[in-house]
Structure 1
Amino acid sequence: MAQETKIWETDFIDEFENFNSENWQDQRIWVNNEKQTYVPNGKYETREVSNGTLKLKVVDLGEPIESDNLDKHGAKHPATPYAAGRICSKNKKEFIKGKWTARLRISDQGVAGMFPAWWILGAQNNEAPVQEKDENVCWPLTGSGEIDIFEHHGDYMDKAFTTGAIVSLGECDKGDWESKRRNFPADLTEFHTYSVEWEGSDLVYRLDDKEVYRNEGEGDKYPEPMFAILNFAKISDAPMTEQWVMEVDWVKHERRL
């Protein structure tokens, strides 16, 4: 009997037995007019690794705290009562094409203001932390392209997530968020795997290993190394009644043999 050909080889996996600083770093940045401030080192219980999973949280502290988060133009986030966790693999684990997958769930869904995401970004992105001299490319130009693998906007959807590529319009800060992204149903409070893979010139998006969407011909527009981001944001002033949690079982990257 012929042996089945191995298609993928795992070249990175983090199963979150601990927080591994060789894989991840905190990312403190102000984007999308988000209402929370990202804090380092799990301060205010915004990041926790326990029982084999990573938990990233949005926490209502009750009173405003000062923020050191800056946008790309140097503007400082105003004081806010909301703190959250955001990590990235920038300058730690970056890969060209292949396949990125995470297994995750969120504590609730369809709640106004919640905005958790699992996504990848070009490694020459010029947003914090800027640590290498070639990190000078403005989003979403080549070198700083964005692919959203999982995103949930609680103001606009309930049991559903968004997946797809951001189309560069050829200018700094000019991106098309609509034409290549779609929404798909899922119970987000249950664990699922969410992935994107390069298949020829296409980007293929899978939920629990089943293809749900395809960006035909878009894969060639992302030739650069890309890093992973996991974050939970608060996108509006809607009140919170409890912590929001994104629980991540594992993240991996595979390369095609």
Structure 2
Amino acid sequence: MRLLSTMALLTLMQLIFSCQNSNPKNNTTPTMSDETWEVDFQDHFETFNPDNWQDQRIWVNNENHCYVPDGEHRTREVSDGTLKLRVVNIGEKRPCDNFDKHGNQHPPTEYVAGRICSKNRKEFIKGRWTARLKLSSNGEASMFPAWWLLGAQNDEPPVQEEDENVCWPLTGSGEIDIFEHHGDHMKDEFTTGAIVSLGECDKGDWESMRRNFPVTLNEFHEYSVEWEGSDLVYRLDGKEVYRNEGEGDKYPEPMFAILNYAKITDSPMTGEWVMEVDWVKHERRKNQ
């Protein structure tokens, strides 16, 4: 191979640099500087604050555990300045008081888990949501921890207001997934992106707007989504990793946050899985 001249080499390097910086996938510069944002809600989990969160006891996604509040199995525990959500194998099947939105009761199960939401506590239109969290494992079959948003008119339990009558994922009950980990399909990766409404009750597109990205799951990272314009911008430790172009306009409703740890397939587990959350915050544009 012939060597390039110095001038030709410099020209080639400039061209490569220009192409890299014109590619939106390589652009990790914030769309708005941090100086344009101000925190309007933050929980450092020094305690479990019922003004911010409530336990959500619900049966969805054919999950094979029972959501229970903090208790003997510590499925939802705040200690040493962090929130711990757990899936625990209690060794024997017990009755479960979780119901789906159609009134069907979850069958007895040997698995219990934790799930909290800010529904009717902290709900915001647009802005930027961020959580700093880690898992106790980098990936095992059946693991399904998540940090996500749901429209405030969602008709699934708990139904506490008259306007909570909109079926997922229609407007008013839209879904944005900031962080998910599917242990059956990946290791050292997380999934982020929006669920696209197909215009009918219980019909959503889970695939087209979501992507997987590498991350060390058992180390703390900041996972966030922001939207003020027409795009949903997803960030890992403050750097943009992905965006749903034009999807931000499809979420005009107030949204609440959910943190949960689920077990979604029949793969056996022993012991417990833990998602540890250092803090959660919401920010809004200044002077808005």
Report the TM-score, using the length of structure 1 for normalisation: 0.97
Q: What CA deviation, in whole Å up to 9, does each residue of 1:107-160 have, x standing for no partner?
A: 012200110000000000000000000000000000000000000000000000
Select the structure that is richer in helix: 2
Q: Kindly indicate whether the alpha-carbon contact (under 8 Å) linking 1:112 and 1:238 is maintained by their aligned counterparts in 2.
A: yes
Poorly superposed stretches of 4+, deviation over 3 Å: none
2:72 and 2:116 map into 1 onto residues whose CA distance is 13
User: Aligned with 1:169: secondary structure?
Assistant: strand
1:18 aligned partner: 47
The match for 1:222 among 251, 259, 282 is 251
2:102 and 2:69 map into 1 onto residues whose CA distance is 21
The match for 2:270 among 238, 241, 248 is 241
Q: Kindly indicate whether the alpha-carbon contact (under 8 Å) linking 1:42 and 1:85 is maintained by their aligned counterparts in 2.
A: no
Q: What CA deviation, in whole Å up to 9, does each residue of 1:3-23 have, x standing for no partner?
A: x98210100000000000000
- 1:148-159 matches, within 5 Å, as 148-159=177-188
**Rg comparison, structure with higher value:** 2
Report the TM-score, using the length of structure 2 for normalisation: 0.87
2:21 aligned partner: none
The CA RMSD measured in Å over matched residues stands at: 1.1
What percentage of residue pairs aligned between the two structures are identical?
77
Q: What CA deviation, in whole Å up to 9, does each residue of 1:64-90 have, x standing for no partner?
A: 110011111111100000000000000
2:3 aligned partner: none
2:185 and 2:138 map into 1 onto residues whose CA distance is 11
Structure 1: state its 5+ residue gaps: none
Partner amino acid for 2:257?
A
1:197 aligned partner: 226
Q: Kindly indicate whether the alpha-carbon contact (under 8 Å) linking 2:70 and 2:77 is maintained by their aligned counterparts in 1.
A: no
2:74 aligned partner: 45
Q: Kindly indicate whether the alpha-carbon contact (under 8 Å) linking 2:150 and 2:174 is maintained by their aligned counterparts in 1.
A: yes
Partner amino acid for 1:60?
N
Structure 1 window deviating more from structure 2 (178-187 vs 67-76): it is: 67-76
1:180 aligned partner: 209
Partner amino acid for 2:180?
E
Aligned length: 254
User: Aligned with 2:35: secondary structure?
Assistant: coil
Q: Kindly indicate whether the alpha-carbon contact (under 8 Å) linking 2:126 and 2:228 is maintained by their aligned counterparts in 1.
A: no
Q: Kindly indicate whether the alpha-carbon contact (under 8 Å) linking 2:127 and 2:283 is maintained by their aligned counterparts in 1.
A: yes
2:195 and 2:282 map into 1 onto residues whose CA distance is 20
Select the structure that is richer in strand: 1
